[in-house]
Structures are given as C-alpha cells and as structure tokens.
C-alpha cells in the first residue's frame, strides 16, 4: 500500500514497530535506536544557518531543544497520530501547559468539558485568570450549552476522547464542526490518553491538537513519566518554542522507554479491551454493583458512539459499589491482584477511588457534576488472565461485605 508520493503507508500495528519513514538500513545499523545522553553537540555552519533562520529544531545543539533519541520517538508518534509533527514532554501536564502557554492570548476564552481529568481543570483554574483568559466549563454532552459557550473569542475547546473515569465517548466530529462554525481561531484540543493512537486518531476526526499522558498506555509499563503533543507543523513549532524556553522536554532515557513501550501498544490495547469487556460484563451482573461505566459495555450510554468512533475501547472503566465510599474502599483492599494505586494504563490492574486521587482537587459539588458519586471505583485493567481477574473481583466483592480489614494476603 502506497501514498500518492510513492512512500510506504503502514497500518497502525506496523507503525507501532516501525517508523513511517523506514527504509532499508545499512549493514551494521542498530535495530533499536540508541540512547544518546549527550546534552551538547558539535556545531557547523549549517547548524548556525538553521538557527539564524528560526529553525533551531533542524539541528542538534543543546538537549533542551532536541536530541536524537527524543526525535526518534517523536517521529514514531507523529506517524501514529497522522500528524505533521509530535513533541514529547516531561509529563502529560507539562504537555497541556505547553499548549495553553503557546496558543493563548489575553481576551481569549477556553471551553473545557466538565468530565475531564481533575488535574486538567485545576491547572486551567489556576493558570487562565493570570493570563487574562476566561474559562468556561460545560457539560460533556449538552449541545445547547456548548453552542452558547463557543464564540468568536474561543481559542481552545478542550475535551477527552474517552472521559476519565466514566468512560464517556466525546462526539469529536460534532465538536469539531461547532468550533469551526463559531470561531475562526478556535482549536479543538483532545486528550486521547485513554484511547491511545490504536483506539482513535482525533486529527482525522477534526481535532487540531492531540494530547497524551505517555505515562499511561503509550509507555504501558508504569516506569516512565511523559507527555505528548501532536499537531500540524505550525502549531507544533509554537509549542516547541515554549517547551524549549520553559524546559519541559523529555529526557533521552524516558524517550527510549517510551519508544520501547509503543512497539507493543497495539497488542496490549487489544488485551486491555478484551479484559475490560469481560470484567465489566461480570460486574454489571453482580448484586453488589449499582452501576458500571464503560463505553465497551453493551447498554452503556456511550456504547454506540464508541463503536462508531473507536477501534479499541481500552481498559479504563468505573463501577459503583453499593454502600458508598467506605464499602468501595473495603472492596479495593480485598483485591489480591489489583494494586491500590494511582495512574492507569500499565500492564498491571489498578484500583482506586477517584474521590481520593484524580478528582480530589475538586469541590464536592464539582465532583457531583462530574459524576463522581459515593461508592465509585476506578479500574485500569491490566493484561493478566481474565479468569483470574474475574475470580479476584468476585472474592473481593464478597469479602467487602463482611470486613473492613486490610488487603488480603497475596
């Protein structure tokens, strides 16, 4: 399969393993990209010329600007997202901060969907007023409220492809059309962490910028912290300039771990999705479970939209335990396999209460509006054997009704 220009065009699973610009390598070339830790590089007249022309990113000079190992994984990510350029950051929040700082001007407004990661709202509330930018928080799927909030001063509409932790799927084509209609300068910014590039490519659905916490599915092994911005070349250059000035770049060792993690992304996402589907079906039928939120579960409000807009629904879901937050904590601490831990997207299964972690920053009424109800448990399903996971959740739900003791022995 080739593009019009004759260059090879690969499918997602292949792009996870090979760079899009892969060519026959010379004998002796490494299959795995080397880790280049040097912070300084030899310069020549061509490097000076590119810097004078405002294209410092075209040459290696200083590690805060770019680095061969960093550039390698950025090329892989750009290909996966179908973007002209991708940038990696020290964390997902650093990536979001970079987009905000690189694009916003005094007098702009930013529209944010209520159902986003709590840290996203916290950063927006702390930063935007200092920039003279208005923040408008809207309900996830209220079309009338969204239309009323987007106007000519809207610079960014920020949402998630799959919301954390309720697994609600955003209608990106509709939002993209709304932003294009109402604001000439408007940019749709999509945090696609929970979908990953295997599950969705938001740029193909009308988004202008894609964000990822690379700490999650992209890395996949709970051993790196990082963030990603993917966009067209012009936007990416604005963000790169801010990243260089502010120093939020990823280090070469983190970039190497990320490059390695991406190679198995497609395989892991398939198992995450299969395990989450099986486990949510079990939980939906359990008498102690009040509700299950997963876009891959038949009957979920986002199921049909997920089937239309996602290739994989991923491994993040939540469920409500009868008895409130105390009962939820007893269930979590009765699990033998799932770790009571923050974060998500690793090969291990994690369990937590959003009220303690992802949405602890919010006021109680804000948590209620975001659907963070008493008894809510967030699960990031790993790639363990699904029969072992179902058995573990079954015994934990039974044990959680009887005891508030600490976690059962492993």
Q: Would you please indicate which residues are annotated as catalytic (active-site) residues?
A: 64, 117, 191, 216
Which H/E stretch holds residue 389?
helix 386-399
Q: Where are the alpha helices (DSSP H) in 60-204?
A: 68-81, 92-103, 118-131, 143-149, 172-182, 196-199
Asked if residue 248 lies in contact with residue 97, where contact means CB atoms within 8 angstroms, the answer is: yes
Distance from C-alpha of 96 to C-alpha of 360, rounded to nearest angstrom: 19
165: preceding bond cis by omega (within 30 degrees): yes
Distance from C-alpha of 117 to C-alpha of 164, rounded to nearest angstrom: 6
Number of H helices, E strands in the chain: 15, 12
**Do the strands 154-160 and 109-113 form a parallel or antiparallel pair, or are they unpaired?**
parallel
Asked if residue 62 lies in contact with residue 51, where contact means CB atoms within 8 angstroms, the answer is: no
Distance from C-alpha of 165 to C-alpha of 169, rounded to nearest angstrom: 11
Which H/E stretch holds residue 292?
strand 289-293
Burial 350-363 (b: 16+ CB within 10 A, else e): bbbbbbebbbebbe
**Do the strands 227-231 and 209-213 form a parallel or antiparallel pair, or are they unpaired?**
antiparallel
Q: Is 336 exposed, middle or buried (0-12, 13-18, 19+ CB in 10 A)?
A: middle
**Do the strands 227-231 and 85-89 form a parallel or antiparallel pair, or are they unpaired?**
antiparallel
């Amino acid at each position: 399969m080739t593009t019009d220009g004759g260059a090879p065009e690969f499918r997602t699973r292949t792009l996870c393993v090979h760079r899009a610009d892969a060519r026959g390598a010379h004998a002796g070339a490494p299959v795995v990209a080397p880790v280049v830790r040097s912070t300084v590089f030899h310069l020549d007249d061509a490097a000076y010329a590119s810097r004078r022309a405002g294209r410092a990113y075209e040459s290696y000079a200083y590690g805060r600007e770019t680095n061969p190992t960093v550039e390698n994984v950025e090329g892989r990510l750009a290909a996966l997202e179908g973007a002209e350029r991708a940038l990696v950051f020290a964390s997902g929040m650093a990536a979001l901060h970079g987009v905000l700082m690189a694009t916003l001007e005094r007098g702009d407004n930013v529209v944010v969907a209520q159902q986003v990661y709590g840290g996203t709202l916290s950063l927006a509330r702390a930063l935007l007023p200092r920039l003279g930018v208005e923040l408008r928080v809207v309900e996830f799927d209220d079309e009338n409220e969204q239309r009323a909030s987007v106007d000519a001063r809207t610079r960014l509409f920020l949402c998630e492809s799959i919301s954390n932790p309720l697994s609600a799927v955003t209608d990106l084509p509709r939002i993209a059309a709304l932003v294009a209609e109402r604001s000439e300068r408007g940019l749709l910014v999509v945090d696609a962490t929970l979908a990953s590039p295997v599950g969705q490519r938001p740029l193909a659905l009308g988004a202008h910028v894609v964000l990822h916490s690379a700490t999650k599915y992209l890395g996949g092994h709970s051993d790196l912290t990082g963030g990603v911005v993917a966009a067209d070349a012009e936007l990416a250059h604005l963000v790169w300039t801010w990243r260089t000035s502010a120093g939020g770049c990823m280090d070469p060792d983190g970039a190497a771990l990320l490059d390695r993690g991406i190679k198995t992304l497609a395989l892991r996402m398939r198992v995450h999705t299969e395990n989450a589907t099986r486990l949510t079906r079990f939980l939906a039928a359990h008498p102690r479970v009040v509700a299950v939120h997963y876009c891959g579960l038949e009957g979920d409000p986002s199921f049909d939209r997920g089937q239309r807009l996602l290739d994989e629904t991923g491994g993040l879901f939540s469920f409500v335990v009868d008895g409130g937050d105390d009962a939820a904590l007893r269930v979590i601490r009765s699990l033998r396999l799932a770790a009571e831990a923050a974060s998500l997207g690793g090969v291990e299964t994690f369990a937590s209460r959003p009220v303690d972690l992802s949405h602890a920053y919010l006021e109680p009424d804000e948590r209620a509006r975001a659907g963070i109800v008493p008894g809510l448990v967030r699960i990031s399903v790993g790639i363990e054997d699904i029969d072992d996971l179902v058995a573990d959740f079954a015994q934990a739900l039974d044990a959680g009704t009887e005891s508030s003791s600490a976690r059962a022995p492993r």
